[in-house]
Structures are given as C-alpha cells and as structure tokens.
C-alpha cells in the first residue's frame, strides 16, 4: 500500500523556541490516521505546519511521493487530505 503522506524529520520554530524537532510519520493511503498526544505535545503545531500556516525550519514532507519542499499547493495540504478537531470548552449555567 502506498503512503498518502510522508513526514520526515519535520522541525518548526515559533520565534526563538524550537516547537517541533524530528517529527516523522506516514499516513497510508485509504486509511484513517489519528494524531494523539498530551497537551503541549505539538499536535496542533504539526498540523498547522503541514497546512502551511507555520513555516517548517527543516524536514521533508511528501504528498503521494511528491516533495512539498518548494511550497504547498494552494497555501497548504489539500483540505480533503486531513481534518482537525479541537475540543472546545463548554460552559453551562449553574
């Protein structure tokens, strides 16, 4: 089975802080992949970097085998490739 997405040694900075260092994973074609981790582990930063919202400092990202080194088409990965759900706090009146 081919990989839809390959991430190899991705690193991202925010100002002087190294937020991601050495992130590597693959997303197989035709499978659901979940990125799980504790608060502050870098899940959102990883996905924002893949979308092109944050510039990667180093690393390689390949979509269906094609390097995205030269930039992301349409500013980021195609929307149909992935989705991101954030848990939103809900406050109920007491």
Question: What is the tens place of the pLDDT at every residue in 3-23?
Answer: 989 999 999 999 999 999 999
Q: What dotted CATH number matches 3-81?
A: 3.40.50.300
Pick from 54, 45, 56: nearest CA to 8:
56
pLDDT digits (tens, 9 = 90+) for 36-54: 889 889 998 998 888 778 8
pLDDT of residue 17: 92
Three-state DSSP state, 35: coil
Residue 24 has pLDDT above 50, yes or no: yes
> Looking at 15-29, 57-71, 72-86, which range is the least confident one?
72-86
HEC string of 41-81? Answer: CCHHHHHHHHHCCCCEEEEEEEECCEECCCCCHHHCCCHHH
pTM over 0.85: no
């Amino acid at each position: 089975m081919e990989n839809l997405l390959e991430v190899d040694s991705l690193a991202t900075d925010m100002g002087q802080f190294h937020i991601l260092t050495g992130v590597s994973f693959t997303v197989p074609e035709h499978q659901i992949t979940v990125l799980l981790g504790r608060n502050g582990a870098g899940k959102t930063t990883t996905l924002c970097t893949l979308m092109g919202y944050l510039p990667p400092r180093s690393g390689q990202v390949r979509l269906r085998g094609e390097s995205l080194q030269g930039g992301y088409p349409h500013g980021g990965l195609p929307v149909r490739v992935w989705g991101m759900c954030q848990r939103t706090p809900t406050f109920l009146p007491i």
